[in-house]
Amino acid sequence: KKQEEAKAEIKKKFAELELKALRAQMNPHFMFNSLNSIKNYILQAKHTVAAEYLSSFAHLIRMILQNSREKTISLKDEVETLLLYIELERMRFDNGFEFDCIVNEGLSLEQVKIPPLLLQPYVENAIWHGLMHKKELGHLSLQFSRENGSVICTIEDNGVGRPNAEKMKSLTATRYKSMGMGITKDRIDILNELESWGISTDVIDKYDSNGEPAGVRVVVRIPANYGMN
């Protein structure tokens, strides 16, 4: 019995270390992608616009560093970080997409607690692998609601879709292939095993009336007993 308890304790400590390593990896990964996404814009922009962009980017990095030190943050803080990130990416892509953020009535973002940087990789993936390849004006939607006692976070785009994104082997897509979704999946698996969060994610491919890929919908569910204060 003591041996089993010792093994369980070692397994728990190993999982905690692995989780910390994944969180540490996520933070520089996010900053690296953000820096690369604004590099060309700064080189080509007017000085005033570039200065404003850098100021917003510095604010974003400060928020990321602050949030990454916490075990959990409020969904309100996560959304604020996401909105700033999306605005920077919109500037980077010359306002090539629009977005909206809807919080359903009865849900307080301040009360919901989630692991930091949980949703950002899905937003990044929607922009870089969906919307950036779309010739027409793209649309990104964030929606937060409660359903059967759980907090539902939905990230939806009308980009080219995963099947087409796989076919597009452009230089940009190859160089900036997102690692964040894989890291996030690993984080969620460990959180669910280590602390029984019960977080689930569904990645749904959308199709139009002609059966052509029409974007991606990601649904992240956080049980209320862990996602609420």
Task: Quote the pLDDT of residue 25.
Answer: 66
Strands 200-207, 97-103: parallel, antiparallel or unpaired by DSSP? unpaired
Render the burial of 82-113: b for 16+ CB within 10 Å, e for the rest: bebbbebbbbbbeebbebeeeeeeeeeeeebb
Which distant-in-sequence residues (6+ apart) come within 8 Å of 137 by Cβ? 96, 97, 98
pTM above 0.75, yes or no: yes
Task: Quote the pLDDT of residue 144.
Answer: 96
Task: Quote the pLDDT of residue 102.
Answer: 96
Q: Consecutive 10-residue runs of the chain (229 residues): their mean pLDDT?
A: 82 75 70 74 76 86 86 92 91 88 92 89 89 90 92 94 72 51 84 87 92 93 67
Task: Quote the pLDDT of residue 225.
Answer: 60
